[in-house]
Amino acid sequence: MKAFNQPDLFSTEEVRKTVYDLPGADVILFENFLSIEESNTLYKSLLENTPWQQEQIIIHGKLIDYPRLTAWFGDVEKDITYTETKSKMHLWNADLLFIKNRIEKEVDIKFTRCLLNYYRDGKDSVDWHQDCKGEQRKNSVIASVTFGATRPFQLKHVSRKDLNRVDIPLAHGSLLLMQAATQQHWKHKIPKTQKPIQPRINLTFRWIN
């Protein structure tokens, strides 16, 4: 399988940090968080070695496939029910531990889980939602790492109509940190696109006990 082709535009490898000034949110983007070589190797390895699963949801009594493939990894191996589908949380592998350690140098938290999403093409997506449940939304750290195609990560405030939607392009090797009460005040999504695009893998490291 071919490694992901990085456009020339991103051939400079400097880490670039952007802090988004959004009311009630704490969102920071690190472009080139991982080098192109690291990102190419990890993309290929995660694509090939992850036990990708098709999760399903019941809508009007019908089982519907989620428009993406997923996998859970974490500190312990166990059965979990995240959606309607019974899935397994797998033990961290070397690739994920490598990425997790790099992120933990940036933020003072030990992540316990990671959700991997595989967007096979532009038809795959994730609709508006907030991460975490209940009280955890008021104070959480979500570290989101992307490999493959750049897709816009859209953010919108849950109630304030006066605030514009924000589109953050998440490129190969980027890290997006969402902290504090971001999940309480803002929703996010990855829209579908008609454009012919390469696959994309996204990893969200989370703290869930």
190 binds, among ligand AKG, Fe ion, none (CB under 5 to 8 A by kind): ligand AKG
- Minimum separation from the CB atom of position 81 to ligand AKG (A): 16
Residue 192 near residue 67, CB atoms below 8 Å: yes
Quickly list DSSP for 111-149.
--EEEEEEE-STT--EEEE-SS-GGGGGS--EEEEEEES
- Minimum separation from the CB atom of position 69 to ligand AKG (A): 12
Shorter beta-carbon distance to ligand AKG: residue 40 or 144:
144
- Minimum separation from the CB atom of position 155 to Fe ion (A): 11
Shorter beta-carbon distance to ligand AKG: residue 92 or 114:
114
Positions in 71-130 near ligand AKG (CB under 6 A): 115, 117, 126
Report if residue 202 touches ligand AKG, rule: CB under 6 A.
Answer: yes
In this structure, which amino acid lies at residue 118? Y
What gap in Å lies between CA 16 and CA 29, rounded to an integer?
Answer: 8
What gap in Å lies between CA 63 and CA 134, rounded to an integer?
Answer: 26
Among 30, 33, 73, 153, binds ligand AKG (CB under 6 A): 153
Residue whose Cβ sits closest to Fe ion = 131
Judging by DSSP bridges, how do beta strands 142-148 and 86-91 pair with one another? unpaired
Shorter beta-carbon distance to Fe ion: residue 172 or 188:
188
What gap in Å lies between CA 47 and CA 62, rounded to an integer?
Answer: 29
What gap in Å lies between CA 170 and CA 151, rounded to an integer?
Answer: 6
Positions in 40-69 near ligand AKG (CB under 6 A): none
> Cα angle at 149 between 104 and 44, to 5 degrees?
65
Among 131, 187, 197, 198, binds ligand AKG (CB under 6 A): 131
The helix/strand count (H/E) of the chain reads as 3, 15
Positions in 159-198 near ligand AKG (CB under 6 A): 170, 188, 190
- Minimum separation from the CB atom of position 173 to ligand AKG (A): 14
Q: Where does this chain bind ligand AKG (CB under 6 A)?
A: 115, 117, 126, 131, 144, 153, 170, 188, 190, 202, 204
